[in-house]
Amino acid sequence: MSEDVMKKIQEQIDKNNIILYMKGSKDMPMCGFSARVVQLLNSFNVPYETVDVLQDPQIRQGIKDFSNWPTIPQLYVKGKFVGGCDICIELQESGELEPIVKSAGE
Protein backbone atom coordinates (compact mmCIF):
# COMPACT_ATOMS: atom_id res chain seq x y z
CA MET A 1 0.00 0.00 0.00
CA SER A 2 1.26 3.46 -0.80
CA GLU A 3 2.34 5.70 2.06
CA ASP A 4 -0.12 8.37 0.93
CA VAL A 5 -3.16 6.12 1.24
CA MET A 6 -2.03 4.91 4.64
CA LYS A 7 -1.57 8.50 5.78
CA LYS A 8 -4.95 9.54 4.46
CA ILE A 9 -6.69 6.69 6.31
CA GLN A 10 -4.83 7.49 9.51
CA GLU A 11 -5.95 11.12 9.24
CA GLN A 12 -9.58 10.14 8.68
CA ILE A 13 -9.51 7.88 11.69
CA ASP A 14 -7.79 10.48 13.86
CA LYS A 15 -10.19 13.21 12.84
CA ASN A 16 -13.41 11.30 13.43
CA ASN A 17 -14.36 9.68 16.71
CA ILE A 18 -16.67 7.29 14.92
CA ILE A 19 -15.98 6.42 11.31
CA LEU A 20 -17.43 3.68 9.16
CA TYR A 21 -15.75 2.49 5.97
CA MET A 22 -18.63 1.16 3.91
CA LYS A 23 -20.02 0.53 0.46
CA GLY A 24 -22.34 3.38 -0.49
CA SER A 25 -23.54 6.14 1.81
CA LYS A 26 -25.52 6.35 5.03
CA ASP A 27 -28.60 7.22 3.02
CA MET A 28 -27.98 4.67 0.33
CA PRO A 29 -25.87 1.72 1.43
CA MET A 30 -24.83 -0.46 -1.51
CA CYS A 31 -24.39 -3.68 0.42
CA GLY A 32 -26.46 -5.49 3.02
CA PHE A 33 -23.60 -5.75 5.51
CA SER A 34 -22.88 -2.03 5.32
CA ALA A 35 -26.59 -1.29 5.65
CA ARG A 36 -26.80 -3.39 8.80
CA VAL A 37 -24.01 -1.46 10.53
CA VAL A 38 -25.48 1.90 9.47
CA GLN A 39 -28.76 0.77 10.99
CA LEU A 40 -27.02 -0.08 14.27
CA LEU A 41 -25.18 3.25 14.40
CA ASN A 42 -28.34 5.20 13.57
CA SER A 43 -30.12 3.53 16.46
CA PHE A 44 -27.66 5.12 18.90
CA ASN A 45 -28.35 8.68 17.72
CA VAL A 46 -24.73 9.71 17.65
CA PRO A 47 -22.92 11.62 14.94
CA TYR A 48 -20.62 9.53 12.78
CA GLU A 49 -18.68 9.84 9.58
CA THR A 50 -18.69 7.41 6.68
CA VAL A 51 -16.29 6.78 3.83
CA ASP A 52 -17.70 5.23 0.67
CA VAL A 53 -14.99 2.85 -0.50
CA LEU A 54 -16.71 2.43 -3.85
CA GLN A 55 -15.69 6.01 -4.66
CA ASP A 56 -12.00 5.29 -4.15
CA PRO A 57 -10.40 1.98 -5.12
CA GLN A 58 -7.21 2.92 -3.29
CA ILE A 59 -9.07 3.37 -0.01
CA ARG A 60 -11.08 0.24 -0.71
CA GLN A 61 -7.92 -1.87 -0.82
CA GLY A 62 -6.01 0.40 1.56
CA ILE A 63 -8.37 0.03 4.50
CA LYS A 64 -8.14 -3.77 4.21
CA ASP A 65 -4.37 -3.60 4.45
CA PHE A 66 -4.47 -0.92 7.13
CA SER A 67 -6.67 -3.01 9.43
CA ASN A 68 -5.38 -6.36 8.25
CA TRP A 69 -9.01 -7.25 7.74
CA PRO A 70 -10.39 -8.73 4.51
CA THR A 71 -13.88 -7.28 4.34
CA ILE A 72 -15.92 -4.06 4.26
CA PRO A 73 -17.64 -2.53 6.29
CA GLN A 74 -15.11 -1.64 8.97
CA LEU A 75 -15.94 0.42 12.03
CA TYR A 76 -13.38 2.52 13.87
CA VAL A 77 -14.15 4.17 17.20
CA LYS A 78 -11.68 6.56 18.80
CA GLY A 79 -8.90 5.34 16.56
CA LYS A 80 -9.50 1.70 17.36
CA PHE A 81 -10.72 -0.94 14.95
CA VAL A 82 -13.94 -2.38 16.39
CA GLY A 83 -14.77 -4.85 13.63
CA GLY A 84 -16.89 -5.65 10.63
CA CYS A 85 -20.58 -6.46 10.39
CA ASP A 86 -20.55 -9.79 12.25
CA ILE A 87 -18.65 -8.35 15.17
CA CYS A 88 -20.84 -5.26 15.43
CA ILE A 89 -23.88 -7.52 15.58
CA GLU A 90 -22.17 -9.79 18.09
CA LEU A 91 -21.28 -6.80 20.28
CA GLN A 92 -24.78 -5.41 19.90
CA GLU A 93 -26.31 -8.71 21.04
CA SER A 94 -24.08 -8.81 24.10
CA GLY A 95 -24.87 -5.16 24.89
CA GLU A 96 -21.26 -4.03 24.44
CA LEU A 97 -21.65 -1.94 21.31
CA GLU A 98 -23.79 0.86 22.67
CA PRO A 99 -21.39 1.96 25.44
CA ILE A 100 -18.44 1.84 23.02
CA VAL A 101 -20.24 4.00 20.45
CA LYS A 102 -21.98 6.35 22.87
CA SER A 103 -18.84 7.17 24.82
CA ALA A 104 -17.23 8.27 21.55
CA GLY A 105 -20.24 10.16 20.26
CA GLU A 106 -20.52 12.60 23.16
Partner 1 sequence: MDPEIIKSIIEKGMKTSYVHVEGDGTHFNAIIVSDEFEGKLPVERHKLVYSALGETMKEQIHALSMKTLTPSQWENK
**20: region left, alpha or beta (phi > 0 left; psi from -120 to 50 alpha):** beta
State which of positions 68-97 bind partner 1 (CB under 8 A). Answer: 68-72, 81-87, 90-91
Q: Which is nearer to partner 1, 13 or 82 (CB)?
A: 82
Please report how close the Cβ of residue 102 comes to partner 1 at its closest, in angstroms.
Answer: 18
Integer CA distances (angstroms), 56 to 13, 15, 39, 60, in order:
16, 19, 23, 6
Q: Is 65 in the site for partner 1 (CB under 8 A)?
A: no
Q: Which residues contribute to the site for partner 1 (CB under 8 A)?
A: 33, 68-72, 81-87, 90-91
